[in-house]
Structure 1
Amino acid sequence: MYNVPDQTGRHLVVTGANSGTGKEATARLAAAGARVTMAVRSLEKGEAARAELLARVPGADLRLRRIDLADFASVRAFAEGILADGEQIDTLVNNAGVMIPPKRIETVDGYELQFQSNFLGPFLLTNLLLPRLLEAPKPRVATMSSGTADFGSIHFRDLQFERRYSAPRAYAQSKLADLLMSLRLAELSETRGWGLLSTAAHPGYTRTNLQTAGRNLARGDAKQLQPSSRTLLPSQGVEQGAEPLLFAAADPGAVQGGYYGPSRMALVGPTHRAQIPRSARGRDLPASLWAVAAELTGVDAQTTLGSATASK
């Protein structure tokens, strides 16, 4: 099992910290001495997860805050609240997401659910917290992508899949967008001298509630799918599956723009540095997507990032 380096004195914000890889990452970061803000959509489920984690890691410093990445107002309220506390933020872990709902669902902001929950929401959150992150001695943003990003593409003419919806294709687009966001953030940090480390990870085929939670949206109680440990492809438990994200978020060996995942068939096994897929190698693709996301979220990237630089 991967040993998380000492995180004493560091404050990390982890989205989706109440289940799956987010919950496992939170437990091991806290065990390494970190103070962790658990950013969760359901406070009830968050409280239950926090109680479990405190039983696992007695004395862990865990704070709970609500955020719904599918609601820009909620993301802004979360950011305003945590910034108002005045605490240093050392690392943001963009982990939360939704996977393959059975039909196209629009958010309150009018965007396709997977694109907003998995990408636009984290993009907005990252930009809003960036000024505070840049005040930290060694700031870092780690973003969870997916192996499905290899098969994704950015449909600039129909980002919301309004013409012909495909849940798997929309999911692949959203996770490719996460990877492109991390690459663009790394590029901006390097060119502007921020000293912020931007990394990405994918969990391979890790058995979590992600595989069923999205598919259960819009299903009645009697039709709810249950998580299963039986898979056709090689798969692994959350303990191993969270390790690429932990490496990306906490390891001193992680590099700028690095992408980390399982080493065996990109599905299971110890963490290694993964190759950036062909789908993400377009020269202008990260910058183009970043500009579109800034327009869609109402975040003026140049203004926000310029003020972040001035505050450092």
Structure 2
Amino acid sequence: MWTPDDIPDLTGTTAVVTGAGGGIGLPTALHLAGHGARVIVATRDRARGEAATSAIRLRVADARIEWRRLDLADLSSVRAFASAFDGPLDILVNNAGVGMIPRRTTADGFEMQFGTNHLGHFALTGLLLPHLLARPSARVVTVSSDAHGLGRIDFGDLGLERRYGRFSAYGRSKLANLLFTLELQRRAEGRLLSVATHPGATATGIMKLGVLTRPVNALMRLALQPPLKGAIPSLYAATSTEVTGGQFIGPGPKTLTPSPKALEEDVARRLWETSEELTGVRFKTITRHS
């Protein structure tokens, strides 16, 4: 069985891991750094980000790791992060996310789960694309979920103003992640690998349930797998020589079959074009193959 010990030497590579202040992002960043990669911990909260980098340095004495601010719910923050990025990029792990929250909106007015989980990462990937394409074997790993099967992309109500359900909205954002992953692979075939992952049922603290958040998360820590196990699909997707573009990697790690919804190329194309319009970010250096 594949484990993080099987990660090859990553000396000379650079990785960005969003949401690496906790959850599965932290062990993802830890093991990439532990195998020689320069790792950028990208989080909204400075205290959590710097605590994560300090924790990693305690485990990896010679870690090349740094924190940079990134708020995926604010496109100005995404643009600032990308404009300050220096040098080529080998691995982008689109890991951060929010889930199962009451309806609210991002700084740009998008429904929060769709805006953070999908649009924020869409914009980030597009803005960092020149850095990725500067490397011969770059990878974009986007964390989706088996919950994508519960989602539906209604282009007439992307803000979910007519009908909002916190679980269906989460499923929609994860479906968008998977549609994006597969469409990116189609457009960038031969120039990078785009891979999606499903971490499995993991105690990450992603759910925000008001006064119930703390007790529910405490129960989840007892009932669900720890973050390291949830990080294994991401680490495998980011580093294994067995991975091919367009795969959906789940616990094991093993290849999963996406829901038929995720394989609808017309929907993926429309979502891509809509996401470009909403974010103002266009992937100018890659075009869609017919």
Coarse TM-score class (shorter-chain normalised): over 0.9
The one of 196, 218, 221 aligned to 2:192: 196
State the one-letter code of the partner of 2:198: H
The one of 190, 215, 225 aligned to 2:209: 215
CA distance in 2, matches of 1:24, 1:246: 9
CA distance in 2, matches of 1:112, 1:187: 27
Cα deviation per residue 1:204-263 (whole Å; 9 max; x = unaligned)?
Answer: 10111113xx334xx5xxx6524224589x73111111100111111111111011002x
CA distance in 2, matches of 1:113, 1:248: 27
Q: Which residue of 1 aligns with 2:218?
A: 228
Q: Which residue of 1 aligns with 2:263?
A: 281
After superposition, the CA RMSD in angstroms is 1.7
CA distance in 2, matches of 1:57, 1:229: 31
| Alpha carbons 1:151, 1:279 under 8 Å: kept | no
Q: Measure how far apart 1:97 and its partner are.
A: 0.3
Which runs of 5 or more structure 2 residues have no equivalent in the other structure?
none
Give the secondary-structure state (helix, strand or coil) at the position aligned to 1:65.
strand
Q: Which residue of 1 aligns with 2:273?
A: 291
Q: Measure how far apart 1:126 and its partner are.
A: 0.3
- TM-score normalised per structure 1: 0.87
Structure 1 segments (4+ residues) deviating >6 Å: none
State the one-letter code of the partner of 2:89: I
Q: Aligned pair in 2 of structure 1 residues 294, 225: CA closer, same or farther (>3 Å)?
A: same
Alignment of 1:84-123 (within 5 A): 85=86, 87-101=87-101, 103-123=102-122
Q: Which residue of 2 aligns with 1:167?
A: 166
CA distance in 2, matches of 1:224, 1:113: 18
- TM-score normalised per structure 2: 0.93
CA distance in 1, matches of 2:40, 2:96: 13
CA distance in 1, matches of 2:265, 2:108: 30
| Alpha carbons 1:127, 1:305 under 8 Å: kept | no
| Alpha carbons 2:203, 2:220 under 8 Å: kept | no
State the one-letter code of the partner of 1:60: A
State the one-letter code of the partner of 1:254: V
Cα deviation per residue 1:18-46 (whole Å; 9 max; x = unaligned)?
Answer: 10110010001111111101111011111
Percent of aligned positions with the same letter in both sequences?
Answer: 43
Q: Which residue of 2 aligns with 1:238?
A: 227
The one of 230, 253, 259 aligned to 2:242: 253
| Alpha carbons 1:99, 1:215 under 8 Å: kept | no
Q: Which residue of 2 aligns with 1:73?
A: 76
Q: How many equivalent pairs are there? A: 283
Cα deviation per residue 1:123-151 (whole Å; 9 max; x = unaligned)?
Answer: 00000000111001211111000110022
CA distance in 1, matches of 2:12, 2:244: 22
Cα deviation per residue 1:98-126 (whole Å; 9 max; x = unaligned)?
Answer: 0111x211111011110111000000000
CA distance in 1, matches of 2:261, 2:136: 33
Q: Which residue of 2 aligns with 1:310?
A: none
| Alpha carbons 2:136, 2:192 under 8 Å: kept | no
CA distance in 2, matches of 1:237, 1:229: 12
Q: Which residue of 1 aligns with 2:139?
A: 140
The one of 300, 303, 309 aligned to 2:282: 300
CA distance in 2, matches of 1:203, 1:35: 23
